[in-house]
Structure 1
Amino acid sequence: MNTQLMIPQEREQLHSLIREKLECAEEIEDTTLVRELPGVDSMKLLRLLGAVELGFQVNLGFEAIPQVQTVRDIEHLICDSRERYASRAS
C-alpha cells in the first residue's frame, strides 16, 4: 500500500465529499470509521466511492468496498489507484 498521502487541500476535498455524499454534519477525521457515521448504508457507501472516483479521477473498482473502514483507507485507495495508473503510463 502506498505510504504517500494526499496534500491537505485534497484531504479537505475528500472530507467535504464524504460529508456531502453521506449527508453527515459531523467532523470528519482520517481515523473516522466511515460505516459508523449516522445513516450510512451500503448504497450510500457505493455512491460515495463513485463520487470519489469522479472527483479524484481514479478507478477504485468494486473490490474497494470491503477495504473501506476509515477515511484514511479511502485516501490510501486513491493514492494506490494513482500509483497504478502512473506505473502503467510510464
Structure 2
Amino acid sequence: MPHPEFVGLVNSLHATAEAALGDLNAATARAARDGLLEQSRARHTAESSLKLLTMLADKTRGNLDFTEADLLSHAIGSLRERLSESPAEAAESTDPSAGN
C-alpha cells in the first residue's frame, strides 16, 4: 500500500512544476498573482522540482511499492516532456483556446 506522505510529496512537487509551467488551476492563479510565472523563474521552478523528483527516485530505488514507483516515474516523465517542449509548444499545450 502506498505511503500517504510519499504520494503527497510526489504530487506536491509535480503540481508545483506543472503550475509553474502554466497549467490552469487555483495554484497557477495564485502563482501568477505573486509573479512566479515569469518564464525564466517558472522554468527554474519546474527544473528544480524535476531534480528533486529524480533525486527521490534514485534514493528510493528498490524501496517503493508498484504504485509509488509508477507515480514517481509518471511525474518525472511528464515534467521531462514538458520541459523539452519549446516555449511556443508549451503555451499551446496549456492554453485552452489553442485548440479552437
Per the normalisation by structure 2, the TM-score is: 0.35
Q: Which has the higher helix share?
A: 2
Higher-Rg member (1/2): 2
Per the normalisation by structure 1, the TM-score is: 0.38
